[in-house]
Chain A
Amino acid sequence: MKRTSLYSLLKGNFSRSFLEENDCEKPQEVEGMRERGIESRGWGNEIDDRAQNVQCMTLLRGVPSRRDLSRRKYGMWRQAQKTRVARLEKQLKVKSHFEELIGRQLEKYHAHYNLAMVPTRLKDVPQFFNPEWAPPYELTTLSWLGDWRPSAILDLLRVLIRTSSTSFVSESNSIERLLSQLIDEIRIEEAVIDGAMFETQATCIFHLPFTRVKICQSGNIALSSVHAEFKKIARNITKAHQLRFKALELAVKKVLNKMDAAEFLVAFMGIQDLIHQFAVKQKLPKGPVIVPVNAQNQSVMGNSF
Chain B
Amino acid sequence: MSTSHFSLLSKRKDPATLPFKHYYKNWFHALKNTLLPILDESLSTPSSPTLLSSHVLLILHHFLSYYDSLDLFATTDINNLPCLLYPSWRNSIERPFLFLGDLHPYVFTNLVRSFLDKENSDDDLGTSSTANVVVGRHWKVVMAWKEPSDDLIVKIEQIERGLRLMVPALMDRVRNAQAGVVRRLAEDWLNFNGDKGRIKIDEAVKVEMEELVSVFVDVNRLRKDVISEIVGALNVYQGALFLDGLAQFLVGFKDLHLLREIEGSKTPILD
- Asked if B248 lies at the interface with its beta carbon under 8 angstroms from chain A, I say yes
- Asked if B243 lies at the interface with its beta carbon under 8 angstroms from chain A, I say no
Quick one: which of B225-271 are within 8 Å of A by CB?
A: 248-253, 255, 257-258, 261-270
Smallest CB separation, A217 vs chain B (Å):
10
Q: Is the CB of A270 within 8 A of B77?
A: no
Residue from A139, A151, A270, A289 in contact with B18 in the complex, judged by beta carbons closer than 8 Å? A289
Contact flags (1/0) for A196-236 with B, using CB distance below 8 Å?
00101111111011111111000100110011011101110
Interface size of A in residues (CB-CB distance below 8 Å): 86
B167 contacts which chain A residues (CB < 8 A)? 198
Known: A194-B171, A211-B132. A141 touches B69 (CB 8 A): no
- Asked if A142 lies at the interface with its beta carbon under 8 angstroms from chain B, I say yes
Give the distance in Å from the alpha carbon of A238 to the alpha carbon of B269 in the complex. Answer: 11
- Asked if B144 lies at the interface with its beta carbon under 8 angstroms from chain A, I say no
Interface-centre pick from B69, B96, B107, B114 (highest chain A CB count, 10 A): B96
Residue from A128, A206, A270 in contact with B189 in the complex, judged by beta carbons closer than 8 Å? A270
Interface size of B in residues (CB-CB distance below 8 Å): 95
- Asked if A293 lies at the interface with its beta carbon under 8 angstroms from chain B, I say yes
Q: Is the CB of A299 within 8 A of B69?
A: yes
Known: A159-B183, A270-B194. A141 touches B267 (CB 8 A): no
Q: Is the CB of A299 within 8 A of B65?
A: yes
Give the distance in Å from the alpha carbon of A218 to the alpha carbon of B82 in the complex. Answer: 36
Q: Is the CB of A140 within 8 A of B65?
A: no
Give the distance in Å from the alpha carbon of A240 to the alpha carbon of B42 in the complex. Answer: 46
Q: Is the CB of B270 within 8 A of A234?
A: yes
A277 contacts which chain B residues (CB < 8 A)? 196
A215 contacts which chain B residues (CB < 8 A)? 252, 255, 257-258
B58 contacts which chain A residues (CB < 8 A)? 300
Q: Is the CB of A219 within 8 A of B261?
A: yes
Contact flags (1/0) for A261-305 with B, using CB distance below 8 Å?
000001100110111011100101100111111011011110011
B19 contacts which chain A residues (CB < 8 A)? 285, 288-289
Q: Is the CB of B258 within 8 A of A214?
A: no
Q: Is the CB of B269 within 8 A of A231?
A: yes
Q: Is the CB of A291 within 8 A of B186?
A: no
Give the distance in Å from the alpha carbon of A230 to the alpha carbon of B167 in the complex. Answer: 23
Q: Is the CB of A156 within 8 A of B62?
A: no
A128 contacts which chain B residues (CB < 8 A)? 96
Q: Is the CB of B30 within 8 A of A140?
A: no
- Asked if B72 lies at the interface with its beta carbon under 8 angstroms from chain A, I say yes
Give the distance in Å from the alpha carbon of A229 to the alpha carbon of B212 in the complex. Answer: 28
- Asked if B68 lies at the interface with its beta carbon under 8 angstroms from chain A, I say yes
Give the distance in Å from the alpha carbon of A278 to the alpha carbon of B77 in the complex. Answer: 17
Smallest CB separation, B93 vs chain A (Å):
6
Smallest CB separation, A230 vs chain B (Å):
6
- Asked if B116 lies at the interface with its beta carbon under 8 angstroms from chain A, I say no
15 A-B interface contacts by CB (under 8 A): A121-B266, A122-B266, A141-B208, A149-B175, A151-B179, A156-B182, A201-B96, A202-B110, A222-B258, A223-B258, A267-B186, A295-B69, A296-B23, A298-B68, A304-B30
A→B interface (CB under 8 Å): 118-126, 128-130, 135-137, 139-142, 144, 149, 151-152, 155-156, 159-160, 163-164, 190, 194, 198, 200-206, 208-215, 219, 222-223, 226-227, 229-231, 233-235, 238, 266-267, 270-271, 273-275, 277-279, 282, 284-285, 288-293, 295-296, 298-301, 304-305
Given A121-B265, A219-B257, A291-B73, 12 more pairs with CB closer than 8 A: A129-B95, A129-B98, A201-B106, A205-B249, A222-B252, A230-B269, A284-B79, A290-B16, A296-B18, A299-B27, A301-B31, A304-B35
- 5 tightest Cβ-Cβ pairs between the two chains A and B: A210-B252, A202-B106, A301-B30, A136-B82, A293-B16
